[in-house]
């Protein structure tokens, strides 16, 4: 299964996990890393940065392409995975454990607007054809 049911998703191929402390952990989906190929660089948003839902806040680059990272929720960036600066290939190895950043949401209600696994899988499948 390349689209875990316990996560939410965005049209921009990011996964979002609601944590028990109310924060949201964000990473790239399996489909995203598959499309990009070997990931060679990730720029995450700075801790403390305020972001709006849908705002560009980082970059993921591969040997084939570069793609913007978007904030799936409005809020404050409370953590960034600095490990990915030295080992961006972890996104290819296991995209669902290689998180990129965490947000403390301003409006937890925005979670409701994110895609469930089935809806996201339809988008990913459509792009493969």
Q: What is the pLDDT of residues 22-80, one digit of tens each?
A: 999 999 999 999 999 999 999 999 999 999 999 999 999 999 999 999 999 999 999 99
E strand or H helix at 105, and its extent?
Answer: strand 101-105
**Residues 39 and 27: beta-carbon distance below 8 Å:** no
Q: List phi, psi (to 5°) of 87.
A: -135, 60
The DSSP bridge partners found for residue 9 are 15, 115
Q: How high is the pLDDT of residue 129?
A: 65
pTM of the predicted structure, to 2 decimals: 0.95
Return the closest-CA partner of residue 50 out of 101, 112, 111, 113: 101
E strand or H helix at 117, and its extent?
Answer: helix 117-128
């Amino acid at each position: 299964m390349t689209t875990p049911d316990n996560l939410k998703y965005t049209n921009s191929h990011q996964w979002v996990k609601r944590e028990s402390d109310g924060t949201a952990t964000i990473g790239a989906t399996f489909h995203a890393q598959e499309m990009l190929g070997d990931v060679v660089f990730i720029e995450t948003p700075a801790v403390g940065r305020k972001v709006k839902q849908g705002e560009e806040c980082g970059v993921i680059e591969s040997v084939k392409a570069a793609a913007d990272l978007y904030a799936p929720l409005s809020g404050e960036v409370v953590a960034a995975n600095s490990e990915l600066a030295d080992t961006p290939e972890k996104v290819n190895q296991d995209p669902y454990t290689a998180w990129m950043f965490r947000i403390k949401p301003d409006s937890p209600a925005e979670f409701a607007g994110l895609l469930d696994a089935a809806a996201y899988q339809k988008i990913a499948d459509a792009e493969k054809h």
